[in-house]
């Protein structure tokens, strides 16, 4: 599995939070914070937009670090990604991501086929 694929199957290389972190781009951090605040109906500040990738060492957004149920579950189970989990297709924690993002689902399904 590509190291930039998150536990849930999202591609961290395409994530604007990671791009802002890697490029130290404060303007992009402000745009991402504003968008995520609107989408999540929560206050997300530009200072929170620091992440190197869900499965990689380094900075994490507060959500990814301690609130994401998918990341917490995968780490507790010792999984590389949810693609290694026999419950992947029926998982209620994963459904909000894979149900709305076909690419994430395909990333995880490709992991299932390689095992």
Question: For residue 91, how many C-alpha atoms fall within 13 Å in the half-sphere facing its CB?
Answer: 22
Residue 5 lies in a domain: no
Whether 91 is in a domain gets the answer yes
What range defines the domain where residue 26 resides?
Answer: 12-114
Query: pLDDT at position 1, please?
Result: 57
CA distance 7 to 108: 8
At 112 the pLDDT is 65
Q: Looking at the 3D structure of the chain, how many domains does it have?
A: 1
The pTM (predicted TM-score) of the whole model is 0.89
Q: Contact, 80 vs 86, CB < 8 A?
A: no
| Assigned domain for 2 exists | no
Longest Cα separation, the chain: 41
In a domain, 59, yes or no: yes
Q: 3 versus 70: which is more confidently predicted?
A: 70
Taking residue 36's Cβ as centre, other Cβ atoms within 10 Å add up to 19
The pair of structure tokens assigned to 36 is 């995520």
Give residue-wise pLDDT tens across range 28-85: 999 999 999 999 999 999 999 999 999 999 999 999 999 999 999 999 999 999 999 9
From 68, 72, 66, 111, select the one nearest 88 (Cα to Cα).
Answer: 111
Assigned domain for 6 exists: no
């Amino acid at each position: 599995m590509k190291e930039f694929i998150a536990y849930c199957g999202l591609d961290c290389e395409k994530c604007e939070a990671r791009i802002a972190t890697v490029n130290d781009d404060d303007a992009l951090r402000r745009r991402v914070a504003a968008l995520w605040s609107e989408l999540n109906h929560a206050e997300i500040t530009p200072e929170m937009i620091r992440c190197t990738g869900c499965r990689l060492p380094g900075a994490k957004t507060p959500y990814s670090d301690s609130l994401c149920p998918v990341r917490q579950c995968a780490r507790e189970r010792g999984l590389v990604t949810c693609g290694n989990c026999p419950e992947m297709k029926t998982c209620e924690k994963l459904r909000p991501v894979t149900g709305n993002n076909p690419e994430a689902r395909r990333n995880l399904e490709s992991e299932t086929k390689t095992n």
